[in-house]
Amino acid sequence: MSFFNGKIVLVTGGARGIGYLMGMKSLQRGARKLIIWDLDEDALIEAASRLTKQGFLVETDQVDVSDATQVQEAAERVLQEQTVDVLFNNAGIVSGKKFHEQNPEEMEKTMDVNSLGLMYVARNLLPAMMDQEKGYIINIASAAGLTPNPGMTVYAASKWAAVGWSESLKLELEKNGTGINVLTVMPSYINTGMFAGVTAPFLMPLLDPDDITTKVLDAVERGKARLREPFMVKLTPFFRGVLPAKVYDFVAGKIFGVYDSMDTFLGRKRESE
């Protein structure tokens, strides 16, 4: 029997991209209900329509995860009826500019969505999980939270914060015996359009959305705490730990081309996932 069987699943940024795929696959694996939070109302309507036509139970809400009040109010609406068993903390935005080109509003929004947004959502749903002594929180971070990368300084900062918080939360919940698992997902570039124009580093091809979302759900089924993809991303912490800084920068920048990957970045007009 699948881990997802009979579960209530909530996905932020779930109306499109990998958020939509993770929600859909949760339903296909037996989830009882899917709750989708997203900022794009039209995308929410379309996603719900596609899934309900397949016979799935879907609930949607238009939520800006960077707004603490909105998140609290949306969580209260959800918790009036049920406890969320599985949370996919997926909503995120990309800020692909050189640091001197960033304005304060862009910096604040990137940090709010990619870092604080994860915390706001988890903070409001976690107590109910703790009451039932079970639950799973999946935080979609990034390989950018493991290594520096010019051209995405603010984005990298937001993901470093996300990784640090997510892994600390995992240890805290384990230490306190809550019965709640945390999975930190750290993928390289995913081919969803969010990173349109990037140059994939050597040995790190763009990840296929269908493939990476299946791996995320498989990791949940196995109770894993970390998922890093593709394979070279798994080695990043080791290389950064054993190599002198200048040597690591040479390997990452000159050999693998990580530091040039954002030079061709285009993005898309609407960057939220």
Catalytic residue (one of 155, 189, 248, 259): 155
Q: Is 189 a catalytic residue?
A: no
Q: What angle do CA 134, 219, 198 make, to 5 degrees?
A: 125
CA separation for the pair 188, 78 (Å, rounded) = 32
* Beta partners for residue 139, in sequence order: 89, 184
Burial of 1 (0-12, 13-18, 19+ CB in 10 A): exposed
Q: Are 81 and 110 in contact (CB under 8 A)?
A: no
CA separation for the pair 15, 12 (Å, rounded) = 8
**What is the number of other CB atoms lying within 10 angstroms of the CB of residue 175?**
8
**Which residues form the catalytic set?**
155
